[in-house]
Structure 1
Amino acid sequence: MSKEKRLILLSLFTGIALMLVKFMAYFITESNAIFSDAAESIVNVVASSFAFYSIYLSARPKDENHPYGHGKVEFFSIFVEGGLIFIAGSIILIKSFYALIVPNAVSNIMEGFWLILSTAIVNFGVGEYLKRRGATLRSMTIEADGKHLQIDAISSLGLIAGLYLIKITQMQWIDTALSAGLGSYILWSGYKMLRKSISGLMDESDVAVVQEVVDVLNSKRQADWIDVHNMRIQRYGQELHMDCHLTMPKYYTLTKVHDVISDFEQSLNEGLDMPTELFIHADPCMPQCCHYCNVKDCPIRAEEYTKHIAWTPVNLPKNMKHFRDS
């Protein structure tokens, strides 16, 4: 079994155990706020189940129907998880408003306090572990699951503080206010996850990934990589797919062009900590490139090298050679 599957199973079994504890706390206390927390735990369990399937599917090799692999299913996983969180937040808010009309007293507060505290500690610890392992493994699904558990833990801590206030003040309306606050927080968290998944499905540029690629290219830059432009990057699960135009001396033979492109691909894959598939269009240099071309002993140089053009996330994606905007 892969590391990713083991991590998701850890999240799933943790979610089931904590969900049972939270519902136990709800039945003991009859607290709307605790019900809100328990309802979100159902989301954790369902989301982890779907995440397990998405990890399985994303690991499948490329095939004729999926030439880029199955990695995009991770964005669907985040979408489902975010959607479920959003729905849970909405239900919690509705129940909170109902509680304003039909209030009920909270009982056995301290028993609920200790049960919810224990779930918050476990959730935060497991969530932090999943976040770190997800970042290391470049798995958006695991990282999102870890963030979700920590959101759950933070909402539980707010709930604990509220239960203590109810205990010392005997103000029952605090329970309803807490429920509404937690519902709003959960709703906002679900929205952010939905936004992230839609961005990925729509191939929105990932600023952090683009910056990482640019940093690697600058650190590995060769003289005959005269110009890189029209760079586009897509993420499919734990892999990147990148295409760009690479300007080289126009007198290079086809064999030499092939060697330079191979070196470019190797350099990028060595510098990044995730596999990258590249599609590179070879461009010939032009006389206007000479002033920023650092190729030594060039037989066709029209003017001296006078300017170094730094590669940035702004100029590399543009579909133009750099002399046009330099």
Structure 2
Amino acid sequence: MATSPRIRDLALAITTNRTLAIAAGSLVVGLVVLGLKFLAWYVTGSIALYSDALESIVNVVTAVVALIAVRLAQRPADAALQYGYHKAEYFSAVIVGVMIIVAAILILREAFFGFLSPALPESPTQGLIISAVATAINLVWARVLIRQGHKARSPALEADGKHLMTDVVSTVGVLIGLGLVILTGWAVLDPILAALVALNILWSGWGVIRDSVGGLMDVAVPHETGKTIREVISSNADGAIEAHDIRTRQAGKLTFIDFHLVVPGVMTVEAAHTICDAIEAKLRDVVEDAQITIHVEPDQKAKHSGIVVL
């Protein structure tokens, strides 16, 4: 059964409000975690914990950028941007990736100076406990961001969540390493840990930028989704001859689908329009937020390729 436009609009409004609320929540969580991690560094003087705190600054900046991007992406199309603002989230994710790489470079700098003059952390137990609490908060929120970002098809939220999850993994490594520093008394492990954190962050930043550039370059839908689109067109184009030049691209949560539909030259405009309506309705049932453009052509335009209906 096809979903009515009114129900779709209501669902979209609910998803939009939830996405904005989660983006705003990221900023609050980021500030709380930032305060805790800088407190952990302050009581210990550990370079590894300092590097962890620096990454949290990136988390806060990321949350701000994601909030702005998500809000901007919700704006309706206008005369300047007639296809909408959906790609704003991809720009946000690229900025996040760049910020991650900048943080990694700063951490490597601190690790280098720490390696030249290693020193054991002060009050390490307190620092470990505070950092562990901050990490637990990040873990819970990262899972929320990734789940909700995937559900709302929001690249900005997903990028934020993946970065937070990387932060969790690196912080766990730092905590384990600091435990070894305490047990062994090897102060040089502290800057080494910081350097490892930086390398992990660099890899994360590269991944975020790579995925975002794909969106900016109008990447096609995944293979399985493309296969489903072709099957829907084939099974709902009764009366047409063929469909060819099928193209897809993704922009934020929107999926753009366009193709040429060949119909008999004697078919009326109304009959051809009815076929297009049937195809569009079915495509919107299986592809969320689909924007569909169908170019109707007479039978002499048939290429005898693509999807042959008759």
| TM-score of the two chains, using structure 1 as the length reference | 0.83
- Report the Cα distance in structure 2 between the residues aligned to 1:15 and 1:21, rounded to whole angstroms: 10
Partner residue of 1:39 out of 37, 49, 54: 54
Which residue pairs with 1:102 in the alignment? 117
Deviations 1:275-318 (CA, angstroms, capped at 9, x unpaired)? 1111212244469849x8564xxxxxxxxxxxxxxxxxxxxxxx
Q: Does 1:271 align with 2:286?
A: yes
- Report the Cα distance in structure 2 between the residues aligned to 1:52 and 1:99, rounded to whole angstroms: 35
Partner residue of 1:211 out of 224, 227, 241: 224
277 and 24 in structure 1: CA distance in 2 versus 1, 3 angstrom threshold: same
Which residue pairs with 2:26 in the alignment? 11
Q: Does 1:86 align with 2:101?
A: yes
- Report the Cα distance in structure 1 between the residues aligned to 2:75 and 2:170, rounded to whole angstroms: 36
The answer to whether the 8 Å contact 2:119/2:188 transfers is no
Q: For structure 1, which runs of at least 5 residues remain unmatched after alignment? A: 296-326
Deviates more, 1:72-81 or 1:245-254: 245-254
Q: Does 1:231 align with 2:242?
A: no
> 1:121 offset after TM fit, Å?
1.2
Which residue pairs with 1:136 in the alignment? 151
- Report the Cα distance in structure 2 between the residues aligned to 1:253 and 1:25, rounded to whole angstroms: 74
Which residue pairs with 1:124 in the alignment? 139
Equivalent position SS for 2:71: helix
- Report the Cα distance in structure 1 between the residues aligned to 2:116 and 2:192, rounded to whole angstroms: 13
- Report the Cα distance in structure 2 between the residues aligned to 1:288 and 1:36, rounded to whole angstroms: 60
- Report the Cα distance in structure 1 between the residues aligned to 2:94 and 2:204, rounded to whole angstroms: 12
Tell me the C-alpha RMSD between the 2 structures.
2.1
- Report the Cα distance in structure 2 between the residues aligned to 1:160 and 1:254, rounded to whole angstroms: 69
The answer to whether the 8 Å contact 1:68/1:236 transfers is no
93 and 63 in structure 1: CA distance in 2 versus 1, 3 angstrom threshold: same
Deviations 1:136-167 (CA, angstroms, capped at 9, x unpaired)? 11111112111121111111111111111112
Deviates more, 1:15-24 or 1:109-118: 109-118
- Report the Cα distance in structure 2 between the residues aligned to 1:159 and 1:115, rounded to whole angstroms: 13
> 1:91 offset after TM fit, Å?
1.1
Which residue pairs with 1:184 in the alignment? 199
- Report the Cα distance in structure 2 between the residues aligned to 1:110 and 1:224, rounded to whole angstroms: 75
Aligned length: 291
In our comparison, the structure showing a higher alpha carbon Rg is 1
| TM-score of the two chains, using structure 2 as the length reference | 0.87
- Report the Cα distance in structure 2 between the residues aligned to 1:95 and 1:145, rounded to whole angstroms: 25
- Report the Cα distance in structure 2 between the residues aligned to 1:26 and 1:112, rounded to whole angstroms: 7
The answer to whether the 8 Å contact 1:69/1:236 transfers is no
What percent of counterpart residues are identical?
30
Q: Does 1:244 align with 2:259?
A: yes
198 and 288 in structure 1: CA distance in 2 versus 1, 3 angstrom threshold: closer
- Report the Cα distance in structure 2 between the residues aligned to 1:259 and 1:125, rounded to whole angstroms: 49
> 1:237 offset after TM fit, Å?
2.4
- Report the Cα distance in structure 2 between the residues aligned to 1:26 and 1:135, rounded to whole angstroms: 34
Give 1 or 2: higher helix fraction: 2
